[in-house]
Amino acid sequence: MMSKLVRFLCYTLMVAVGFFSTQECSAQGRNRPVPSTRKSPEMAARRIADILAQPLRRRLEYAPEQLDVVFDEIQEDYGIPIVFDKSALDEVAISPEAEVSISLDEISLRSALNLMFKEPGLEDLCCIIDNEVLLITTEDRANEKLLTRVYRVDDLLSTMPRRFNETRHQEDPGTLINVLLRTVEVNSWAKNSTGDGEVQFYAPGMLLVTQTHFVHEKIESLFDQMRVTNQRIAATSALDESKAVAATQGFVLEVDFGENAEQEKLQLTEALKKSVQWSDSAAGVSDDDVWIKVLPDRLLVRHVPLVLAQVETVLWDMNVLDRHRHSRGGGGIDIVPSTSDAGKPANLDLAEDSAAGDDGS
């Protein structure tokens, strides 16, 4: 049986161990960095911009009401900090207690505020995102300093696919930059030698623009309109493709089919179907209405125009087209007998090409 002294010593040791463990944990807790929940200025500004772009959460109905009361309610409803630039308002003799009458619904918060500042007596005002708040100031004060913003424009760039079956594109920001320089406040750009605004492209798909608040709003509006138009064009193109009509096109070949002519013709047919969008682009066209027929000196293809153009590209790259009869992108030729003997026909060794393809080369 354990003596009282031994039990006492064990208890004392346990207490000591617990005490030091607690102290160590506390010390580690003090030394461990506390994760910050505060957002960066850029994230805060982006959040305010996103809220401004959202539809109104409720109807703005004031008839009349003090300006500061209106913005107190907007601040509470949308959870964004709003501050009056009192010194700027004093310059134009507008008080935050000025009254406004407005009735708006089913538009964005930004549009509602812009319309509010068109009310009589408030025409000099505007709102900008500055120092992580929505600042109510004057147009003149807002345009005194240049603001730098980053615009994502990858969807607006002029892109040219290198090949029809490649997904990589070459970005061409020059056209988009020229649009800004020639259509948005032309005299405000340094590249036009008449202003201080700057624009630079950074891959992938970013425009870094330094401009006034007024010009930034015009740029945002322009980009929004371009995106809406792009969506309409895409929708129309998709509709046109769905209504595509199959056509027959002939391609004169410079091919010397060997002893296994039928097998080589079959291999050529299969190679073409695998190299173009044979099935994907046949929407609205029945399988019975698309085909390939290989003749001794020519190829007949029936499909939608997109695939016919792809077939021409593949045949050109395979070096089996009669180039005296086909110009690049010529869209095929009339189906007439070939009388040209110029040049030696190519020997189409599809079996060898097929084996090379199977090896991954």
Which residue stretches of the chain have pLDDT < 50? 1-2, 4-6, 8-9, 15-17, 19-22, 24-27, 29-31, 34-36, 159-169, 329-361
Domain boundaries, the chain: 41-142, 152-242, 247-358
Largest CA distance in the chain: 120
- Measured CA to CA, the distance from residue 302 to residue 293 in angstroms comes to 9
pLDDT for position 165: 45
pTM greater than 0.95? no
- Measured CA to CA, the distance from residue 139 to residue 137 in angstroms comes to 7
SS3 (DSSP) at 224:
helix
- Measured CA to CA, the distance from residue 100 to residue 102 in angstroms comes to 6
218's tokens? 């015009």
- Measured CA to CA, the distance from residue 77 to residue 70 in angstroms comes to 11
pLDDT for position 131: 85
Residues 6+ apart with CB under 8 A from 318: 348
Beta-strand runs (E) in 221-273: 247-252
- Measured CA to CA, the distance from residue 348 to residue 258 in angstroms comes to 8
pLDDT for position 182: 93
pLDDT for position 61: 93
CA distances from 176 to 52, 153, 190, 191, 236 (A): 25, 9, 16, 14, 23
pLDDT for position 357: 44
pLDDT for position 317: 83
CATH architecture of 41-142: 3-Layer(bab) Sandwich (3.55)
Proportion of the chain in helix, strand, coil states, percent, rounded to 5: 45, 20, 35
Q: What is the fold, at CATH topology level, of the domain defined by 247-358?
A: Alpha-Beta Plaits (3.30.70)
pLDDT for position 38: 58
SS3 (DSSP) at 346:
strand
Are the CB atoms for 88 and 138 separated by under 8 Å? yes
